[in-house]
Amino acid sequence: MKILGVTGCPTGIAHTFMAEKALKEAAKELGCEIKVETNGAIGVENALTAKDIQEADAIIVACDKNVDMERFNGRPVIDVSVTEGINHAKELIQKCIDKKVPIRKGNVKISNYNQGEKVSFGRQIYKHLMNGVSHMLPLVVAGGVLTAISFLWGIYSFDPTSPQYNVIAATIKEVGGYSMNLMVPVLTAFIAQSIAGRPGMLAGFVAGMIASATGSGFIGGIIGGFAGGYFTQFVVNLLRNLPRQLEGLKSIFIVPIITVLVVGVGMILLGGPCSMLNESMMSFLEGMQKSSPVILGLIIGCMSAFDMGGPVNKAAYVTGTMLLAQGNYLFMAGVSAACITPPLIIALAATFKKDRFTEEDRTAGLINYVLGCTHITEGAIPFAAKNPLKVIPVLMAGSSISAIATYIMKVEVPAPHGGFLILGLVNKPLIWITCILLGSAIGAVLYVLVTPKVEVAIAGQDVGVVNDVEKNEIKHDSQKNDLYKENTVCMNLKSKTKQDVINEMVELLDKNGILNNKNEFKKEILEREELSSTGFGNGIAIPHAKTSAVKIPRVAVGISKDGFDFDSVDGNKANLIFMIAAGDDDNDLHLKTLSHLAQNLMDDEFVKEILNSKSKKEIVQLLSR
C-alpha cells in the first residue's frame, strides 16, 4: 500500500519533522510504503509530484499551516492537525489500510481522522492565523537579533548625537529595524493569502501597512488580515461568472482595486479604536511587569508550557515579539525563559534519575539539553504526551518559576529567539541562566515525584515496576515465541486452488486446537480476501483474520513446491502461505506479526531458506529467531 503524507507547523522547526518521523515509523511498522512532504522553515522538501498523488492509495495531511489542498481533489484524504500526526500516526495509517478514508471533493476537508467531517470554523481561523505567524516569525527573529547585536556597541550606538555612536552598529540596527517593521504587514498579508490565495495577499499587505502606520499594531493587523481575506474571497466569488475573456481584467484590475479600496478605507476608519486597544493592552502588560511580576510570570509560564509550540504558546511568544518591537525587552526575557525550561526539566530528570526513563527515552531526554539551550520547547512534547495529566502541570510549574524569577530580577533579552546562543546580548546573563536553572531544577524534582520507576525484567527476574509500554512489549515477545509451532506447519500442501488452500490451512489450525469455531474463522478469512487478495506476489500469500473464533494466537505455515493459485498481485502462483489467526484482544500482536512477516518476506534469501528447509523444526526456528 502506498501512502502519502504532508506535514507542517507554524514555525517549521520541530512539529513538522516530528510528525514526519511518526508517520514513517507507523507506516514501517504496519508494512506500508510512505512518502512525506515537509513544509518546514526552509521551505517544502520531498515535494509530492502529480504522479505520486495519482498512484497513492491515501493521503494524510497533518498540518497547522496552509498548504495546497486542491491538488488532492478526488483522492482519499485525511486532514488533521500536526499534533494528531505526532500522537495518532498509527491510527491514521491503519485507517488508510482499512480503506476508511473519505474522498476529497472540491473545497471539502476532513478534519477528524475518525469521521468525515468538514473543517470547523474555529480550526479554519486558527490555520489562517498560523499561516501569517509562520511567515512573520523569520522576519521577527532576524530583525530582533540584528537589533540586539547592534547594542554590543552600546545601547545608544545608533544615535549620532551620542558618544556611543558607531556607524556599523547604526547600520545593523537600521537593517534590523526594516525587518521588524515588516512584521505586521507580512502577518496581515499571509493571513489574507491563506483565506483567498494570491488575490487576498494584495489587500492584506495594504491593510498591514495601514495597521503599522496608524499604530493599530498586531491587533489591527489580525483584523485586517481576516477582513482582507474574506472580503477578497467574497468579491472573487461574486465575479466568478464573468466571461472568460475578462479573466485578465478581473485579476489585475477589478479585484485589486475593489478589495484594496474597501479594506484600506475600513482599516483607516478602524485605525483609531484599534490603536487605543493595542496601546491599552501593551500598557497593561508593561504595568504588570512592575506591579505584579509574579502573576505575569505565572501566566506566561503556564501559556508557554501548556502546548509547547502550539497556539497558546504562540500567543505568549507573539505578544513578546510585539513588545520587543516597541523596545520592551523585559517581557521577552520571561517568555524566552519559560520556553527554554520544559526541555531542560526533562534533560535534568534524565540525567539524575535514570530509573524514570527507558534507555531509549533517556537518550532522547539528554538531547533536550541542546534543544532547551537553543529555545526549542518542542523537545519536551514526547514526554508530556506519555502522561499529560501529570507531566504538563509540572512543566507549567517549572516554566512559571523561571519566568517569575526573570521578571523579579528585571532581566532584559533584546532578541526573540536563540536561547543561550544570545547570552552576549542579555543585560544580566548569569542571573538569567540562574533563573532558568531554578525553574528547571524544581520542575525536574516534581517530574521525578509524579512519574513511576521504569524497570524491565532482566534474565527472568522481576526488577521493580514495569511500565505499560514495556509490559506490552514483553507480552508481545512471549506471544511471538508461541506463534510458530511444528504442529501447525505443513511441508507439502496438496491443494491447488485458493479456496482449497484456505480450507486446508483452516483444518490444520482447527485440528490442533487453535480455533473455537472454524466456520466463523473461515468466514472472516474469506471476507478479508473479498476486500483485496492477500496474495502479495513473490510466491507468498498471507491471509489473516482477527476474531473471537480464535482460541490461541498462531501463524500456520504451508509450503507447496509446485505452487497454487491465490489471486496474487503479480499473477504468479504462490509457494508459501502464512495464515495468521488472532483473537479479538490481540490487535497489536496481529498488526505487528503481519508487519514483521511482510518485511522479512521481502528478503529473497530468507524466503529461499524457508522453501529449502528440511524439517518443520527448521522452519519454526527460522521464523522465531
Instruction: Look up residue 471 and give its three cell numbers.
Output: 509490559
| Annotation says 544 is catalytic | yes
* C-alpha grid cell, residue 61: 495531511
* Catalytic option among 15, 544, 590, 596: 544
Say how far apart CA 142 and CA 390 lie, in whole Å: 37
- The string of DSSP codes covering 536-585 is EETTEE--EEE-TTBSS-EEEEEEEEEEE----TTSPPEEEEEEEEE-TT
Contacts of 522 (CB under 8 A, 6+ apart): 502, 503, 506
Q: Are 594 and 536 in contact (CB under 8 A)?
A: no
The residue behind cell 507447496 is: 560
The helix or strand, by DSSP H or E, that contains position 43, with its residue range, turns out to be strand 43-45
Q: Is 15 a catalytic residue?
A: no
Backbone angles phi, psi at 577, to 5 degrees: -130, 135
Can you tell me the distance from the alpha carbon of 52 to that of 56, in angstroms, rounded to the nearest whole number?
A: 6
Distance between CA atoms of residues 81 and 61, nearest Å: 8
Is 561 in a helix, a strand, or coil? strand
Q: How many CB atoms lie within 10 A of CB 620?
A: 19
C-alpha to C-alpha distance for 152 and 149, rounded to whole angstroms: 6
How many CB atoms lie under 10 A from the CB of residue 363? 11
CA 322, distance to chain mean position in Å, is 27
Residue 150 three-state SS:
helix
Gap between the terminal Cα atoms of the chain: 27
Question: What are the grid coordinates assigned to 73, written together?
Answer: 481533489
Cα(195)–Cα(184) distance, integer angstroms:
17
Tell me the C-alpha distance between 125 and 122, whole Å: 5
- CA diameter of the chain: 99
Q: Which residues contact 136 (CB under 8 A, 6 or more apart)?
A: 183, 186, 187, 190
Select which of 9, 32, 302, 490 is catalytic. 9
Cα–Cα distance measured from residue 457 to residue 434, given in angstroms and rounded to the nearest whole number: 40
Contact 488, 558 (CB under 8 A): no
**H-helix segments, 409-544:** 429-450, 468-481, 498-511, 518-531
Is 78 in contact with 92 (CB distance < 8 Å)?
yes
- Return the closest-CA partner of residue 69 out of 132, 22, 119: 119
Contacts of 478 (CB under 8 A, 6+ apart): none
Q: How far apart are CA 305 and CA 311, in angstroms?
A: 11
Angstrom CA distances, 130 to 71, 111, 225, 376, stand at 21, 16, 12, 18
Helix (H) or strand (E) holding 3: strand 2-8
Please give the DSSP secondary-structure letter assigned to residue 309: S
What DSSP state is assigned to residue 579? E
Residue 412's SS3 state is: coil
Contact 523, 508 (CB under 8 A): no
Nearest to 375 by CA among 321, 326, 325: 321
Residue 318: all three cell numbers together: 507573539
Active site residues: 9, 544
